[in-house]
């Protein structure tokens, strides 16, 4: 877990502190699938800006996730650029003026980065935008073997009803 000790930063209102930090990113569970950040540690830029009423935190990095495509289950690689901000008021009267990532004098950078990546993920992670997926009949990968199947004949268990319909109709 990567954290940043805020006691090391002594800022007056209007000043900012910039620092390159290494962030540990854990694997993600998304849609029942596991996505692994490669590498597990990414370099990020942390910016701490002091305002009159509180502190603004900024975090910027890019990570690459590896995992399965939701359509064909092949390998998908996704670059996720992150640029997020959080605010912590000096004396918050409202819960919305605090960040859940500051605990005492520690800023939980790993937790913040994990949540930022999770919120930046697309609805469907695909190996490529035009992924055809798997054939619903035979299960073959339609990207490698595009094909169609002949129309299915009716289930023979319905023959008696069809005969009755033909006789009545």
pLDDT at 169: 76
Residues 6 or more apart whose Cβ sits within 8 Å of residue 47: 16, 17, 18, 56, 57, 58, 59, 60
The pTM of the whole model exceeds 0.85: no
For residue 43, pLDDT over 90 is answered with yes
SS3 145: coil
At 87-101, the pLDDT tens digits run 998 887 777 788 999
């Amino acid at each position: 877990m990567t954290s940043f000790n805020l006691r090391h930063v002594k800022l007056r209102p209007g000043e900012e502190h910039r620092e390159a930090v290494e962030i540990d990113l854990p694997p993600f569970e998304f849609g029942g699938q596991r996505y692994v950040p490669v590498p597990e540690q990414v370099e990020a830029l942390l910016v701490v800006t002091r305002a009159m009423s509180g502190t603004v935190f900024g975090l910027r990095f890019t990570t690459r996730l590896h995992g399965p495509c939701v359509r064909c289950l092949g390998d998908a690689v996704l670059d996720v650029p992150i640029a997020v901000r959080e605010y912590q008021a000096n004396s918050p009267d409202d819960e919305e003026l605090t960040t859940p990532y500051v605990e005492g004098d520690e800023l939980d950078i790993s937790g913040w980065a994990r949540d930022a990546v999770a919120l930046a993920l697309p609805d469907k992670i695909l190996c490529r935008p035009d992924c055809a997926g798997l054939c619903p009949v035979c299960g073959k990968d339609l990207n490698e073997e595009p094909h169609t199947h002949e129309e299915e004949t009716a289930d023979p268990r319905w023959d008696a009803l069809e005969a009755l319909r033909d006789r009545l109709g």
